[in-house]
Amino acid sequence: MTMLDRQTGLFIAALLASGGAPSGFSDHGWHGAEQALATSLQEKGQARYELDQVISSLISVDAAYAAGNTARAQAEFEKARSSWDEVSLAISTREARGPQLLFDSLQTKLKSGAPAVEVNSTVYVTLEELSEDIAAELR
């Protein structure tokens, strides 16, 4: 028996003797894991729905802004931001950082009256980020 095998065996024996066995091995522990998995799947499903709403709203932002309807563009942006806030809760902070910066940039462009081509470019990059990276994380 190697030294590592002995150490592992002694650790497991000491853990069992002290009553410190992981609770995940009991029936109750597995039930808790099933509940967590079901909740996680439900949250991801809701986040995917919200992501679809974000994408739809961003497309509307672009169309309204290009048509000169800045009020509608701002209203659609607010819908997109609200849905994004829900999506961002279901993904890692690291993954949420990029789209968040793009949303901030888009908001600045909308409020400052930037040319439509700049708004379109920001919307396009945001849609690309959401469709690729964020959608992949929600699968």
Query: Which pLDDT belongs to residue 70?
Result: 97
Cα–Cα distances (Å) from 122 to 38, 50, 126, in that order, read 36, 20, 6
Q: For residues 54 and 58, what is the distance between their CA atoms, to the nearest angstrom?
A: 6
Query: Which pLDDT belongs to residue 41?
Result: 83
Q: For residues 50 and 44, what is the distance between their CA atoms, to the nearest angstrom?
A: 10
Give the ranges where 18-92 is alpha helix by DSSP (H). 27-66, 70-89
CATH (one of 1.10.3470, 1.10.20, 1.10.1740, 1.20.120) for 25-137: 1.20.120
Report domain extents, the chain.
25-137
Name the pLDDT band for 35 (thresholds 50, 70, 90): very low
Q: For residues 14 and 16, what is the distance between their CA atoms, to the nearest angstrom?
A: 5
For 46-104, the pLDDT digits (tens) are 999 999 999 999 999 999 999 999 999 999 999 999 999 999 999 999 999 999 999 99
